[in-house]
Amino acid sequence: MSERVDIYLHFKDNAAEAAKFYSEVFDKKAAVMKYAEFPESDKMEGIDLDKVGHAEITFDNLNLMFSDVPGMEITLSNNFSISWWTDEEARFHKIWKRFVEGGSTVHEETMQTFFATLYGRIEDPFGISWLLMYNHQDEQEG
């Protein structure tokens, strides 16, 4: 049996900007499909066909997916966070720096905790809360 959980983020007219931002932060290419590329897009009424219908960035163990959602009221919320973890300290610092330089708000500076060698919490320019963590490989094996 195999199961998987993915994260799907909804945006109001700036999913393309989010795709570019996350691609740059994580050094991963986002696959982006505009509504105009959907089958039967000619039958979609009231939808801006130039907006993102689906975008996806693939990681080893999940997909980060997002789109512009027509007709859905989008409100920024603090009832969830995305947790990202690495066992490479240099990668942790690189990702942290890119988020901060990209306009993210730091809510908790990087620090050592009982659950992570390094941990920090930011909110990206799109209102998404990220928990970024680094754990030394030896600590994961125990």
Q: Select from 100, 98, 97 the least CA-distant residue to 23.
A: 98
**How does pLDDT run across 93-121, given as a tens digit for each residue?**
999 999 999 999 999 999 999 999 999 99
Place of tokens 């897009």: 41
* Domains, the chain: 7-68 (3.10.180.10), 82-141 (3.30.720.110)
pTM of the entire structure?
Answer: 0.85
**How does pLDDT run across 12-62, given as a tens digit for each residue?**
899 999 999 999 999 999 999 999 998 888 888 888 899 999 999 999 989
**62 vs 42: CA distance, rounded Å:** 32
Token digits for 54? 């689906």
**How does pLDDT run across 61-73, given as a tens digit for each residue?**
899 999 998 877 8
Token digits for 2? 């195999």
Token digits for 66? 């997002």
